[in-house]
Amino acid sequence: MPARQVITARQVRLAAELRKLREKAGLSVQEAARALGIAQTKLSNTEAARVGVSPDRVRHFACQYACDDNALIDALARMAAERERGWWEEYRGTLPDVFLDLAELEAHATYLRTFETVRIPGLLQTEEQIRAIYARSVPELPRGELDARVHYRLRRQEVLRAEVAKPYDVVIHEAALRIRAADRAVAKRQLVHILAMSEYPHVNLRVVPFDIDGFAGIGYSLLYMGGPVPQLDTVHLDADHGAAILDAELQLKRYQRLLNRVQSMSLEEKHSRDFIQSLLRNL
């Protein structure tokens, strides 16, 4: 296969998982290449995602590495078979690649879990809210890029309105619900929108109020995306200095525990909706 001109997060993940299989087998690149009957450079390029790999080759790798996890092998083979370009590719060259990687990861996730301390989750923001947030970027965004970011985030939200929608567990701190990205009217419409989205059967919305004791929280946006098998879960962290995509086993376990703890400290769904209604009445 020819060298890729663009490498996505999904392709990097597949390559990394193939490398993990080799390392678990206790094989060096040289030893594995010899067992697979391919050039060492080809294996190195495959594990660096510089070239693609076919589903049959993935299964061949797994066989030579003595991997007997059929569910994982099947999931990796499906990843290798992906050839269609997603809607996010329309924004390549216009928006940073990390934006496109997030949309791709969300589209392929089996479920989504998120926690926000000071921001409304991007998947629940109204167009007014999105535009107000990006309009205050430092440095100021050119009009064309601002519009592209707004349209891109709205397209991302389609993942919650799909015919077969994936479960979405979201925990929002009261601070995020109270902070006004624009004016009072925009804030009201944002809360109304959140309430409407919380009525979707696949959306589990919970709120952490200020008066919860013992809540340390986190200062960044956390999105946990479930894979077809637990080994392929992914964490996306978003802070002012940039975004990070994590998939190491211990990192995944850490953020699972964190989300479980935050959720255990939040209000039940009905009480969360009542809480947002009270905020809305007082605006």
Tokens representing residue 252 in the block: 């995944």
Domain spans of the chain, in order of start: 9-81, 97-282
Q: Tell me the pLDDT band of 150, cut-offs 50, 70 and 90.
A: very high
> Do 100 and 88 form a contact (C-beta atoms < 8 A)?
yes
pLDDT by residue (tens digit) across 55-81? 999 999 999 999 999 999 999 999 999
As a whole number of angstroms, the distance between CA 128 and CA 192 comes to: 13
Second CATH level (architecture) for the domain 97-282: 2-Layer Sandwich (3.30)
Burial (Cβ within 10 Å: 0-12, 13-18, ≥19) of residue 44: middle
Q: Angle 97-108/143-156 helices, nearest 10 degrees?
A: 10
Tokens 């999931």 sit on residue:
75
When the candidates are 1.10.260.40, 1.10.287.40, 3.40.190.10, 3.40.50.1260, the CATH number that belongs to 9-81 is 1.10.260.40
Q: Residues 81-85: what's their mean pLDDT?
A: 89
Q: Tell me the pLDDT band of 90, cut-offs 50, 70 and 90.
A: very high
Residue 96 C-alpha from the chain's centroid:
15
Residue 26: is its pLDDT beyond 70?
yes
Q: Taking the alpha carbons of 205, 163, 81, 49 in that order, is the dihedral positive or negative?
A: negative
As a whole number of angstroms, the distance between CA 114 and CA 221 comes to: 8
As a whole number of angstroms, the distance between CA 181 and CA 264 comes to: 28
- H helix or E strand, kind and range, residue 106: helix 97-108
Tokens representing residue 192 in the block: 């109304």
246: which DSSP letter?
E
pLDDT for res 217: 65
Most distant CA pair in the chain, distance: 70
pTM of the model: 0.94
pLDDT by residue (tens digit) across 189-247? 999 999 999 999 999 999 999 999 888 767 778 999 999 999 999 999 987 677 899 99
Q: What Rg value do the Cα atoms of the chain yield, rounded?
A: 21
pLDDT for res 154: 98
More confident residue, 164 or 59: 59
Summary mean pLDDT of the chain: 95
What contacts 121, CB < 8 A, 6 or more positions away? 114, 170, 172, 221
Q: Angle 184-198/127-135 helices, nearest 10 degrees?
A: 130
More confident residue, 221 or 18: 18
The neighbouring-strand residues paired with 208 are: 173
pLDDT for res 37: 95
